[in-house]
Amino acid sequence: DTGVSQNPRHKITKRGQNVTFRCDPISEHNRLYWYRQTLGQGPEFLTYFQNEAQLEKSRLLSDRFSAERPKGSFSTLEIQRTEQGDSAMYLCASSLQTSTPYEQYFGPGTRLTVT
């Protein structure tokens, strides 16, 4: 296992369409996180899972966004009725449930462009 993987790497969609991204964490990591990064800014936390349970959601995660991790392995992030303001890099990270849970390993990201 070489790290966190994300698919697709790039997605261009028209406003109003739905999109879904996938994240495969490092295999033994039981925590999984989603972040959003816009141009010139640092990543902003969206949500996180411990195993299959979604334990926290940011206020940034409007009701058009939904994330799942059905079997505690891979996760999906869906955006419904996309808006131009959703254009960003969506990052996934994973970590082990240890005494340093913040040592998160990031995937390469999915860049979303909404036209």
Partner 1 sequence: GDSVTQMEGPVTLSEEAFLTINCTYTATGYPSLFWYVQYPGEGLQLLLKATKADDKGSNKGFEATYRKETTSFHLEKGSVQVSDSAVYFCALGGSNYKLTFGKGTLLTVNP
List of residues contacting partner 1 (CB under 8 A): 4, 31, 33, 35, 40-45, 48, 55-56, 58, 91, 93, 95, 100-109
Q: What are the E-state strand segments in 1-115?
A: 5-7, 10-13, 19-24, 31-37, 44-50, 53-57, 65-68, 75-79, 88-95, 105-106, 110-114
Q: Which is nearer to partner 1, 10 or 15 (CB)?
A: 10
Q: Which is nearer to partner 1, 59 or 71 (CB)?
A: 59
Q: Which is nearer to partner 1, 40 or 85 (CB)?
A: 40
Nearest to 86 by CA among 32, 1, 18: 18
Q: Least Å distance between CB 16 and partner 1? A: 29
Q: Least Å distance between CB 6 and partner 1? A: 9
Q: Least Å distance between CB 36 and partner 1? A: 11
Report the relative pairing of strands 88-95 and 105-106 from DSSP bridges: antiparallel
Length reported for the chain: 115
Q: Least Å distance between CB 71 and partner 1? A: 21
